[in-house]
Structure 1
Amino acid sequence: MYSLTHVAAIGFLCIMAGLIYICSGTLKTHLLGKRMEWIYAVSLMITEILYYVWNSKIGRFNLADSLPLELCSISLILSVVLLLTGNRRLYDIVFFAGIAGSLQAVLTPVLYIDFPHFRYFHFFYTHIGIILTALYFTWIKGYRPTIKGLGWTMAYLNILLPVIFIINKLVDGNYMFLRRKPSSGSLLDWLGPYPWYIVSLEAVAAVFFMVLWLLFRESRTERSSVQREK
């Protein structure tokens, strides 16, 4: 954590996010179009599929920790579908849960294989891809987070948690860290012992989602501009 290769990945995220923001005006005028969105979606999905192929080839694929049931794995699938469909409801989940989960993963990665291994590129490409997808739809496509979307995302997470908890019991897994904290250290270390850190994490998520909404919500100027166009 915070080795040169880790800092390089964080730097890549910052550069790409900065480019999306700086070029947002130009890209709004000259949209890359559905073809580029499909290409990016396919690249994310292929990278994820290759990860499971690699896991199988080295004999590490098992139900306990190889299913796409982590929050970021689910957010990645939703990001791909969002890129393919532009669904507004999916945007809310990718924006709030995707950014929150992926940003935490990028800053405190649970990763045991370093550059230049495939797993290094898979981990950071997919997590950064979730964040960039949310920013692309916000700054380029004109989607904006709403309080209603925040509430919907919290409801989605609270419906998802008991489902993942049951699956963890059935396969003896620890998806979404609902049974124990990651051994490599993470934000969860600051949120109390099991099971209280789960409750604390929900409070942290609500606060983080609110901060994201305040930072990215539609401004009065944008709202007035849309109303004038109508």
Structure 2
Amino acid sequence: MSDFFTFTENPDNTFTVFGWNHIIPLLAIIVGVYLIYHYRYELRNYKYERRVRYGIAIFAILLEVSFQLWQMFHGQWDFADSLPLHLCRLTSYLGIYIMFSKNTKVFEIAYFWSLAGVVSILFPDILHGADRYRYYHFMMSHILFFYMYMYLLFVLDFRLTFKSFKKSFITLFVLAVGIIIPINNIFNMNYMYLLEPGDTPFTIFEGHGYLLYVIGCIGLTMVVITLWYLPIHFYNRYRKE
């Protein structure tokens, strides 16, 4: 237990892709989303619904605070890296804000970015195994922010349209091209993995020059976001029946 909060991973217990420490978080996403959908009416009409919603958001805040403190304790905290310019962190922060404010306009934009949580679980950029704090923070924080958007969609019954999708698509494109890419190249950062791929699917675009790498990354992200609109299209049709 004394090594649980250690910054470095345990070489004898590292993360294994599609091992048990990978399958369990994936199952947690499936089961959690099912339960949120199945009990959506009960939650919506629960007299303490606001407490439930606030509780989820506060838990997400505590996870983020614990991570920042963990980095500080090990002398690894960096102001630039703590900025919410990675897509997952940005989407998580926006999700927390929406859970408190019920701001549907922000939800319209941020919802289509929420799939980043699932993608990050599918292709986790960590080596820490289940005997380290970082493993639990990474998995829980990504799963939780995905839960938040499912809660907003199903329990609060927030509506999304093709116009919402276009807003989200354009906003992310402008953010990536107008802000993230210049910051990455000026300050040698790697927000949204638009400078180098790390352990992400963006590795398929490596070795063809930076311009093609960026085009490939943005293109793949936009394709994924477009595919993420399809369930909304069919869900809207289901609600009309």
Paired residue total:
219
Report the equivalent of 1:140: 155
Structure 1 position 150 matched with structure 2 position 169: no
Deviation at 1:63, TM superposition (A): 4.7
**More displaced 10-residue stretch of structure 1: 165-174 or 81-90:** 165-174
Match of 1:189 among 179, 203, 223: 203
Q: Distance in 2 between matches of 1:214 and 1:59?
A: 47
One-letter amino acid matched to 1:47: L
Structure 1 position 213 matched with structure 2 position 229: no
Match of 1:116 among 121, 124, 131: 131
Deviation at 1:172, TM superposition (A): 1.3
Q: Distance in 2 between matches of 1:26 and 1:66?
A: 37
TM-score by length of 1: 0.86
- Counterparts in 2 of 1:96-107, with a 5 A limit? 96-98=112-114, 100-107=115-122
Q: Distance in 2 between matches of 1:215 and 1:139?
A: 14
8 Å Cα contact 1:150/1:209 also seen in 2:
no
Structure 1 position 24 matched with structure 2 position 40: yes
Deviation at 1:173, TM superposition (A): 0.8
Deviation at 1:29, TM superposition (A): 3.0
Structure 1 position 7 matched with structure 2 position 23: yes
Deviation at 1:153, TM superposition (A): 0.5
Q: Distance in 2 between matches of 1:135 and 1:31?
A: 20
Match of 2:95 among 79, 84, 93: 79
**CA distance 1:170–1:57, change in 2 (3 Å):** farther
Q: Distance in 1 between matches of 2:239 and 2:154?
A: 16
8 Å Cα contact 1:44/1:126 also seen in 2:
yes
One-letter amino acid matched to 2:117: S
Deviation at 1:68, TM superposition (A): 2.6
Deviation at 1:202, TM superposition (A): 4.0
Structure 1 position 201 matched with structure 2 position 220: yes
8 Å Cα contact 2:185/2:195 also seen in 1:
no
**More displaced 10-residue stretch of structure 1: 29-38 or 135-144:** 29-38
8 Å Cα contact 1:96/1:212 also seen in 2:
no
8 Å Cα contact 2:85/2:191 also seen in 1:
yes
Structure 1 position 53 matched with structure 2 position 72: no
Question: 3-state DSSP class of the match of 1:101?
Answer: helix
- CA-to-aligned-CA distance 1:172-214 (integer Å, 9 cap, x gap): 11110111111x2x32234574233224224413422332322
8 Å Cα contact 1:102/1:127 also seen in 2:
yes
Q: Distance in 2 between matches of 1:82 and 1:218?
A: 25
Q: Distance in 1 between matches of 2:141 and 2:169?
A: 23
Q: Distance in 2 between matches of 1:44 and 1:34?
A: 15
**CA distance 1:30–1:172, change in 2 (3 Å):** same
Q: Distance in 1 between matches of 2:42 and 2:60?
A: 25
Deviation at 1:220, TM superposition (A): 5.4
Question: 3-state DSSP class of the match of 2:160?
Answer: coil
Moved over 6 A (4+): none
Report the equivalent of 1:94: 110
Structure 2 unaligned regions, length at least 5: 1-16
8 Å Cα contact 2:85/2:192 also seen in 1:
yes
Q: Distance in 2 between matches of 1:11 and 1:199?
A: 28
**More displaced 10-residue stretch of structure 1: 71-80 or 24-33:** 24-33
One-letter amino acid matched to 2:201: L
